[in-house]
Structure 1
């Protein structure tokens, strides 16, 4: 047998060539199939960190051959004009949810939290949050109104023949637009306009399902259940009086009074939840709820050279990273100075995502950055601790990489997110009001660094999170394409949302049953009284005769 210069027999080379040709044919026809199966997707996203993870999903959909159009306002905060993986449809507005809207709210909330009276603080926070929620949804309703009034835009959207609408239902514009276009609807979500998403679709007993903002876990005493019920009433009142009414007014104007916004919200084909039950407390769920918690997480990539050099300079002590997310651009100077002074006392190096003036107490061990590769830093072996505000994205990344957390929640769901880590032994929580008092922040950091149980618990959560048959992103993509292939997922949707509240809780059945029991119980008595009355009447007539 003759061997060529590369050392392979000719018959082997021929076989490899044939295999290569076959493989190329398979790949080609696979590619054709992907192109043939590709669809058109309309995305109506939320701003801020919600857009960050929606953008990750859009990139994955684009990679699979789908065409994606994104609806945004002309004053969009995070959603930039068309990129290779999506095209934008821009709606003109006079107001928008952006940094100019959110920054004053954050400042007020921080000032309120640093007050003295707990009762007054709670009431003030509720008023501030109610006002913020009302104004946010007012802005979104105005944007939806602008879309529906633009006949040219609506005709263009209908002519595009989209296969599905994907939206974040914390805003209601996408929900109503999907109804107007008569398209299947998919949620990329954890929140809806009225609060936590499960509350709208699945049975949610308040005895062990804590309400957002209550600061409770799934193990509650009697008084805690009373508190949980009070928070439920607050959320329901906020939804009925401040939120749902605004969206219903838009529905009444453009769809007629027969279309209820609450039904539109509950009728989505697929609910892609950005949590899983490694993070979330166990609870009832529904067939069309798919859990993709941590879908945005991925293995760490190498750091930029200058950042890697700083990390390696930490030696055996390691690195602490700190970020307060997209909504909090900067804290009051006295708080940042206290945080900086605390970091300066530590042997670890610190990478702090910070905007605003440089703290006067900044130590040589702390590096301030406008942006940092958070996922890659969390996955670095020298990262020992994550100081975070408790946003869903950051919490999921901390779980994925097994890094313990010291939480500094500001608003919305952040305390509740951190509480779930705390309950599982992976985090401790500090309020902004207590950061500059009695070295509380320093003690919290040292506690988590010195107690190995925090890291062990987070690494256990990481193993649980990763141990699943499909990656969360692959699960999400499968179900999105499932809805596109079958023009919806009606067989997975419960009919509960079509029922009146008294029918949902079977109160009409109970009342009917009680009425029947009452009839059977009192009918003999009535008959007996009637017979007695007739006999008495006859005796009276006999005496008179």
Structure 2
């Protein structure tokens, strides 16, 4: 009896311990596939003894509470019908599925759709945050954290209203607008492609692609800022009763759960509070329903193809359905096609239509050979998880970009849904099934996906619990959130330095200034060399601005200012600049020529001695040996180029020559780049020497031939002369004998 009581006490204590460590979580999910991903997290949180409340609005086209749901469900009324909300999202899709719309038009239409979203946003925000009873009820529920999808308007505002730490779950925003502008994530456009509807850029871009990428960033950023100021910021200021912005509020998210991983992403910078959880919904396959398993098994060695365009695509045109059905009917594999539209007229016996399919279980089936997908992140990750190559038919949103990642990594063929014909689809399927490179590539990605220190779902749960345990994760948020745009770019520091620098320059009076820089590659000097230079500079009447990042020389005096960086071109163009001490880099030399500033050259390596020697030969510079110069040498050289008018006259003559050109150098450079683009090259300007061997270039073969000819002629001439001589010699004695 005592043992039974002890056991009960232990169970009770364990139960109380579990309860004590459980959390109370409020979830504001997105719609369609976004909810599917969030639902997996919700289920896992409940499996770990957390209390979860899912909050949505009355017009949600996706979330319907049922008795099977274990989570608490709450819904608030909004001034919009469910059909109207569904129509809004469907019209969003139709923008991309219009085959007569160009990529640029889709871009404009997308942002037009986003501006129309203000009605939906206003309805949801007013229904949620304008409902004081709801807000009070939620406050009294004492939640520990708010988990949300940015697809739910004003979810971040709810976190603010409830004073809760928050965790956001998202895949990507166009041009990383939310991540960059709100989350402060760096995204250099030189190698981070703007995730966009075009979906053809990678992290390896040539000049034209980088130009396109830069324009995409500029356009999307401008549209985002414009839309934010015209619509979102108004709600975000009215509802809490104080000025704020979408990005200010969204940027307060403690953790950003990004639904990808390095098996999918191109390498790019991340912040400490951005965590990859791609594929968290994937799991080992379960047995298929008997009827479906029988159909799959009937495929024999040919196997099956799984086909789904996702949960948002409920119908396609009759013509497009027939095109697809015709292609599927021409392959040997059996096809399971998730499709709720009218049955195509030419549907082959190898193809079976389903209103719904257990996609993860089918992709994990050993007979699955390929996956035809619209490119949603959930489907792509199931294909990666199970190692199934893909044929991509992207339709809208991030899908072109998603599939371009897979195409770039060799795991998919990508087709234009609106332009493909039966032959294209048939060929694409045959390629991914019969060409082993696609299977090898997707298996490589699958191995990368499975080789993680934590499973994606465990990672997501860990960080949600982490935020609950620590009441947020402020220590992971970069300080950039607290800086203005000009502070972020150090423009205030630059303005101060320039202002302070101008005061220093003006204080030089009639003596003027000397600019000194050894370039960006020389960051330090020996203590002895630095003191030698500082001593020389201290003995001239001019003020000196010295770009130097090393230890401050002991002999530095008041007329010399040491700076980590200087605006070299602007200083050389200043009317008080008398001389330029330079290492002889070509950029600095040309800035001196442009502005007419004589030089003291201290060449260090590579082409610098030759560059400075050119200036010396033209009378515009004095050249010193950097390793052997003494204080007196440098002082004398600076005094010479400043006081001897010949140096100024020579550099001004070079400056006049430089400015007297029919085209500016930059215009000429751009002209020839554009020229090469217009003419697909400039082969007609390449000398024939490129196609010659060294002996052909120096005409050694010609010389050898000519020498051979000359030698032959000489040989023949000599032989002929000898023969004639011999003939003559033979005739003369005979004649004499006869006489």
Distance 2:229 2:359 in 1: 36
Deviates more, 1:362-371 or 1:488-497: 488-497
Determine if the alignment matches structure 1 residue 412 to structure 2 residue 393: no
| Equivalent residue number for residue 451 of structure 1 | 435
CA RMSD in angstroms comes to 2.3
Q: Tell me which of 344, 369, 376 is aligned to 2:354.
A: 369
| Equivalent residue number for residue 490 of structure 1 | 474
Q: How does 1:26-41 map to 2 (within 5 A)?
A: 29-41=13-25
- For the Cα contact (< 8 Å) 1:194–1:239, is it kept in 2? no
Tell me: CA distance 1:147–1:171, structure 2 relative to 1, closer, same or farther (3 Å): closer
| Equivalent residue number for residue 537 of structure 1 | none
Distance 1:349 1:402 in 2: 19
Determine if the alignment matches structure 1 residue 509 to structure 2 residue 490: no
| Equivalent residue number for residue 334 of structure 1 | 319
| Equivalent residue number for residue 557 of structure 2 | none
- For the Cα contact (< 8 Å) 1:390–1:418, is it kept in 2? yes
| Equivalent residue number for residue 304 of structure 1 | 289
| Equivalent residue number for residue 182 of structure 1 | 163
Q: How much has 1:98 moved relative to structure 2?
A: 4.2
Distance 2:512 2:374 in 1: 73
Distance 1:125 1:419 in 2: 18
Distance 2:93 2:173 in 1: 21
Determine if the alignment matches structure 1 residue 522 to structure 2 residue 506: yes
CA offsets per residue over residues 443-486 of structure 1, 9 Å max, x none?
11111111011011101111110011221111111111111111
Q: Tell me which of 211, 221, 228 is aligned to 1:236.
A: 221
Of structures 1 and 2, the one scoring higher in RCO (CA 8 A, sep 6+) is: 1
| Equivalent residue number for residue 358 of structure 1 | 343
- For the Cα contact (< 8 Å) 1:418–1:429, is it kept in 2? yes
What secondary structure, in the 3-state scheme, does the structure 2 residue paired with 1:433 have?
A: coil
Tell me: CA distance 1:192–1:85, structure 2 relative to 1, closer, same or farther (3 Å): farther
| Equivalent residue number for residue 54 of structure 2 | 70
Determine if the alignment matches structure 1 residue 218 to structure 2 residue 203: yes
Deviates more, 1:384-393 or 1:165-174: 165-174
What secondary structure, in the 3-state scheme, does the structure 2 residue paired with 1:165 have?
A: strand
Q: How does 1:24-173 map to 2 (within 5 A)?
A: 29-81=13-65, 83-95=68-80, 98-111=85-98, 114-115=99-100, 121-173=102-154
- For the Cα contact (< 8 Å) 2:124–2:153, is it kept in 1? no
Q: How does 1:430-445 map to 2 (within 5 A)?
A: 430-436=415-421, 439-445=423-429
Tell me: CA distance 1:523–1:257, structure 2 relative to 1, closer, same or farther (3 Å): farther
Q: How much has 1:310 moved relative to structure 2?
A: 0.4
What secondary structure, in the 3-state scheme, does the structure 1 residue paired with 2:370 have?
A: strand
Distance 2:205 2:6 in 1: 62
Q: How does 1:6-17 map to 2 (within 5 A)?
A: none
Deviates more, 1:122-131 or 1:450-459: 122-131
TM-score normalised by length of structure 1: 0.88
What secondary structure, in the 3-state scheme, does the structure 2 residue paired with 1:515 have?
A: helix
Q: How does 1:207-356 map to 2 (within 5 A)?
A: 207-213=190-196, 214=198, 215-243=200-228, 245-356=230-341
Q: How much has 1:343 moved relative to structure 2?
A: 0.4
- For the Cα contact (< 8 Å) 1:294–1:393, is it kept in 2? yes
Distance 1:108 1:418 in 2: 19
Tell me: CA distance 1:193–1:337, structure 2 relative to 1, closer, same or farther (3 Å): closer
What secondary structure, in the 3-state scheme, does the structure 2 residue paired with 1:191 have?
A: coil
CA offsets per residue over residues 286-311 of structure 1, 9 Å max, x none?
11111111111000111111110000
- For the Cα contact (< 8 Å) 2:174–2:195, is it kept in 1? no
Gaps of 5+ in 1: 1-17, 530-545
Q: Number of residue pairs matched? A: 504
- For the Cα contact (< 8 Å) 1:276–1:291, is it kept in 2? yes
- For the Cα contact (< 8 Å) 2:194–2:217, is it kept in 1? yes
Q: How much has 1:78 moved relative to structure 2?
A: 1.1
Q: How much has 1:517 moved relative to structure 2?
A: 2.8
What secondary structure, in the 3-state scheme, does the structure 1 residue paired with 2:42 have?
A: helix
- For the Cα contact (< 8 Å) 1:70–1:86, is it kept in 2? yes
Deviates more, 1:277-286 or 1:507-516: 507-516
Distance 1:528 1:279 in 2: 58
Q: How much has 1:527 moved relative to structure 2?
A: 7.6
Q: How much has 1:511 moved relative to structure 2?
A: 2.5
CA offsets per residue over residues 23-47 of structure 1, 9 Å max, x none?
9987765443222111211111111
Gaps of 5+ in 2: 514-739
What secondary structure, in the 3-state scheme, does the structure 1 residue paired with 2:239 have?
A: helix
Distance 1:528 1:495 in 2: 41
Q: How much has 1:208 moved relative to structure 2?
A: 0.6
Q: How much has 1:254 moved relative to structure 2?
A: 2.1
Determine if the alignment matches structure 1 residue 203 to structure 2 residue 179: no
